[in-house]
Chain A
Amino acid sequence: EDKVVQSPLSLVVHEGDTVTLNCSYEVTNFRSLLWYKQEKKAPTFLFMLTSSGIEKKSGRLSSILDKKELFSILNITATQTGDSAVYLCAEITSGTYKYIFGTGTRLKVLA
Chain B
Amino acid sequence: DVKVTQSSRYLVKRTGEKVFLECVQDMDHENMFWYRQDPGLGLRLIYFSYDVKMKEKGDIPEGYSVSREKKERFSLILESASTNQTSMYLCASTAGGTSRGYTFGSGTRLTVV
Contacts and interface: CB of A to CB of B under 8 A. Distances in A.
Interface of A: 34, 36, 41-45, 48, 88, 90, 92, 97-99, 101-104
Contacts of A99: 33, 43, 45, 101-102
Interface size class of B (residues with CB under 8 A): 20 to 34
B96 A42 contact: no
B64 interface: no
Contacts of B41: 103
Nearest to B44: A101
A34 B101 contact: yes
B43 A88 contact: yes
Interface centre among B58, B102, B103, B106 (most CB of A within 10 A): B102
A22 B90 CA distance: 24
B106 A98 contact: no
A99 B105 CA distance: 16
Contacts of A45: 100-103
Interface string B88-113: 00100010100111111111000000
B101 A42 contact: no
A99 B45 CA distance: 8
A42 B105 contact: yes
Given A97-B31, A97-B50, A101-B43, A41 B100 contact: no
Interface in B48-68: 48, 50, 58
30 contacts: A41-B107, A42-B4, A42-B90, A42-B104, A42-B105, A42-B106, A43-B90, A43-B102, A43-B104, A44-B104, A45-B100, A45-B102, A48-B100, A88-B42, A88-B43, A97-B33, A97-B50, A97-B96, A98-B33, A98-B48, A99-B33, A99-B43, A99-B45, A99-B101, A99-B102, A101-B35, A101-B42, A102-B42, A103-B41, A104-B42
